[in-house]
Structure 1
Amino acid sequence: MLLLATLMAPMVWSYGFAQEIPQQSPISITKFQRSARMSCEITKLLESFDSTVIHWYQQKEGKPPERLLYFSQGKAFVESGFQENRYIVERVSGQDRCVLTIKDVTPDDAATYYCAYWDAHSSTWIKYFGTGTKLIVSNKGTSAPKSYEVLSSENENKLTYVCLVEKFYPEVIRVTWTEGGDEVTDNVVNGEVWKSDDDQYSIGSWLTVPKENKNKKYLCKYEHESNKQSFAPPSTQDLTKTAEKQDCNATSGNSRIFYGDHLMHRTAYLVYIVLLLKSSMYYVIVLFFVYRMRTPAKHHGKKT
């Protein structure tokens, strides 16, 4: 079986004017030896959308991006080196979307795909690249996260939330934080996806806020090929709270193994957070001693 997964990548190649960056979707799709379909939404263009030339780029891992085609006046112009009959481009005017379909996907199509367009600002033209769609080709089916939860920890005047999303496949996932419906980006750290022995993946993300924000409702949200979920921290500070969602089909033995692995990763994240919060204090102490050691040497140098 071929698995085609697409990911909304965090890379942006245009600088400034973030509100004008094309949004690509979906985050992931799965097909069996069929077509891969990805969308690019450009709401900023409004009335000029129909006349705008849309470019699509392909970037393979470790290589620079290469233009795949451009779409102008209702026709796709495919670059040399690509098979013209394998690419279909549609413009959905009412929704300001441009859709790229890749037919008969092969492992060679594995790459990140970006849509782009030119726009004028003052006396210059700027090319805006989309958020990116990563296409993965694999022979394994997908599985939704088996567990997800938010833990919390207080330290002096700060409150730290830890979001754990575990046991999913493929590794394509996006984790974000929201408050009051708006995405929170300040003081957010997303860890790298780690792989377990059963070829499934997990990820952690943490958010640090002032203690006075304790009554605000922060939500952790993940987007995966299988589904989307938003969930809040527990109402208590019980850091040993079990996972909110587990695989109902798992046997008791597998549950014990899964829960032990779950606790191991959770403990590792909590230890990391404690070290992170203390690192600034240790840094100041080290700087103090370095300064004390260097000061006599400087005075001695002036005398000679």
Structure 2
Amino acid sequence: MSFQTMLAYGFSQEIPIQTPVSITMYKGTARLQCHFKDVSENFDNTVIHWYQQKEKREPVRMLYISSGTTIVENSFQRNRYMVQKLSNQKICILIIKNIGPDDAATYYCTLSTVSGYYYEVFGSGTKLIVSDKGNSKPENSEILQTKHKDQLLYVCLIENFYPEVIRVQWVDGADKEVTKNVVKGDVWKSTNDKYSVSTWLTLPVNMTNKNYFCKYDHESQENFKLPIQDIVFVYTLPTTILLNTPHGPVFSCLLGGCTILMFNKIFLSYVTDYLMHRAAHLVYLVLLLKSSMYYVIVLFFIYRTRTPAKLPGKKT
């Protein structure tokens, strides 16, 4: 289970939201915010921890703040880290001074709670990228639509951004995240060291679509929303095959080559991978069948060579 989604079993504490989702810088001071909007207790009395997780390693606790005192772990330089608490906003800020290459990692805030036993809820995370490249906001973002029977499929496509870290959600008019009938795609590398991502939302045809948005947070552009009513409508072609994914039926394609998917790169990529896997599977079966046939033929000839032929006998 990833730390972004870690929740203590049996508790409904929401995941603390960290901003920005990433920071790209070469030197200077980084400020990482963690918002504990769901905390109902006295924020001044809460114990907050900060963890550092380097690539392919386990998270390591850097420090924690309790009763206004910050305790830094011995493996970290005390003079480089500060923590601020904004009690009225329920925000905790980690300040990292004199950024260097060794600081490249993902940082998580956690809230310690004692309710019968001790547990921690990890935040959404902020990735610190040590580079002088800077960031690039998405070159294109749009919502596309297609229809299958009594359902509408909305595809939020966000293209060509850097770095690759992005938080994409479907939200309603109250800015509450929608998780039902949502499929989130993985970020893929597009062109010129930039990245793209897409996510799907399926709704019944008779459901109003005016209160749904595709919302994304990126280092270059936070809290950006795309309303569904501004979608680009896509002509729905007659379909003969419903292509199923591990998440259930997602889209339809034509028997002659999935022409309906040309409007979306991730769909086309998915179908290409799907067909490649199917083709590889069929080739494997054919080769296996051929090898089995050859095996039977070889056994037959071995049997014939080792068994002397019976000559017709003379009748007496």
| Aligned 8 A contact 2:21 2:125 in 1 | no
Matches within 5 A, 1:18-57: 18-57=12-51
Distance 1:43 1:174, change over 3 A: closer
| Aligned 8 A contact 1:54 1:117 in 2 | yes
d(CA) in 1 for partners of 2:266, 2:20: 32
Task: Calculate percent identity across the aligned residue pairs.
Answer: 49
Q: Of the candidates 264, 267, 270, which is equivalent to residue 266 of structure 1?
A: 264
Q: Match for residue 230 of structure 1?
A: 225
Q: Match for residue 281 of structure 1?
A: none
d(CA) in 2 for partners of 1:172, 1:235: 25
- 1:229-273 residue CA offsets vs partner (Å, 9 max, x unmatched): 211344662359xxxxxxxxxxxxxxxxxxxxxx96725526858
- 1:23-59 residue CA offsets vs partner (Å, 9 max, x unmatched): 2222233444111111122234445221222111111
Report 1 or 2 for greater relative contact order, CA contacts < 8 Å, sequence distance ≥ 6.
1
- 1:66-109 residue CA offsets vs partner (Å, 9 max, x unmatched): 11111123222111111111101112222222211011111211
**RMSD, aligned α-carbons:** 2.8
Q: Of the candidates 81, 87, 90, which is equivalent to residue 87 of structure 1?
A: 81
| Aligned 8 A contact 1:53 1:72 in 2 | yes
Matched, 1:128 2:121: yes
d(CA) in 1 for partners of 2:28, 2:12: 34
Runs of 4+ in 1 over 4 A off after TM superposition: 270-273
| Aligned 8 A contact 2:53 2:59 in 1 | yes
Q: Which has the larger radius of gyration?
A: 2
Query: Structure 1: which 5+ runs fail to align?
Result: 1-8, 241-262, 277-304
- 1:98-142 residue CA offsets vs partner (Å, 9 max, x unmatched): 211011111211112111222132x22322222222222223121
Q: Match for residue 152 of structure 1?
A: 145
Matched, 1:63 2:57: yes
| Aligned 8 A contact 2:143 2:231 in 1 | no
d(CA) in 2 for partners of 1:214, 1:110: 44
Matches within 5 A, 1:264-303: 266-269=264-267, 272=270
Distance 1:165 1:239, change over 3 A: farther
| Aligned 8 A contact 2:172 2:212 in 1 | yes
Distance 1:218 1:45, change over 3 A: closer
Q: Match for residue 171 of structure 1?
A: 164
What is the CA distance between 1:19 and its match in structure 2? 3.6
Amino acid at match of 1:43: K
Equivalenced residue count is: 245
Amino acid at match of 1:38: L
Q: Of the candidates 194, 213, 218, which is equivalent to residue 219 of structure 1?
A: 213
d(CA) in 1 for partners of 2:150, 2:33: 44
Is the partner of 2:98 in helix, strand or coil?
A: coil
| Aligned 8 A contact 1:14 1:129 in 2 | no
Matches within 5 A, 1:108-127: 108-121=102-115, 123-127=116-120
